[in-house]
Amino acid sequence: MKAKSAVKKPNIFVRMGRKCKEVFSELKKVTWPSFGKVIKSTGVVITVVAIFLVVFTAVNFGLSELLGLITNIGG
């Protein structure tokens, strides 16, 4: 049998505290965007999402109408 190592890990609370300190120290290094850039990027994202919403809704409507025509041919 192998002997247990003498080095023990610190308890969970000590490890969590160290991890929180590491996270906060990394967040201090982040270059945050200006408010204007955030607003501009948010506008671009909302515009792109709206365009895709319109396109997918149109495709969905078109395909459902096509399916309705195909299934009602015999009736």
Local confidence pLDDT in tens for the 75 residues of the chain: 555 666 788 888 888 999 999 999 999 999 989 999 999 999 999 999 999 999 999 999 999 999 988 888 755
**Is 50 within the bounds of a domain?**
yes
**Is 17 within the bounds of a domain?**
no
**Is 26 within the bounds of a domain?**
no
**Is 38 within the bounds of a domain?**
yes
- C-alpha count within 13 angstroms, C-beta hemisphere, residue 65: 6
**Is 3 within the bounds of a domain?**
no
For residue 15, give every residue at least 6 positions away whose Cβ sits within 8 Å of its Cβ, in sequence order, or none. Answer: 9
**Is 5 within the bounds of a domain?**
no
Range of the domain at 69: 32-75
Query: What pTM was computed for the model?
Result: 0.58
pLDDT score recorded for residue 18: 92
pLDDT score recorded for residue 11: 86
**Is 6 within the bounds of a domain?**
no
Do the beta carbons of residue 15 and residue 9 sit within 8 Å?
A: yes
Count of domains forming the chain:
1
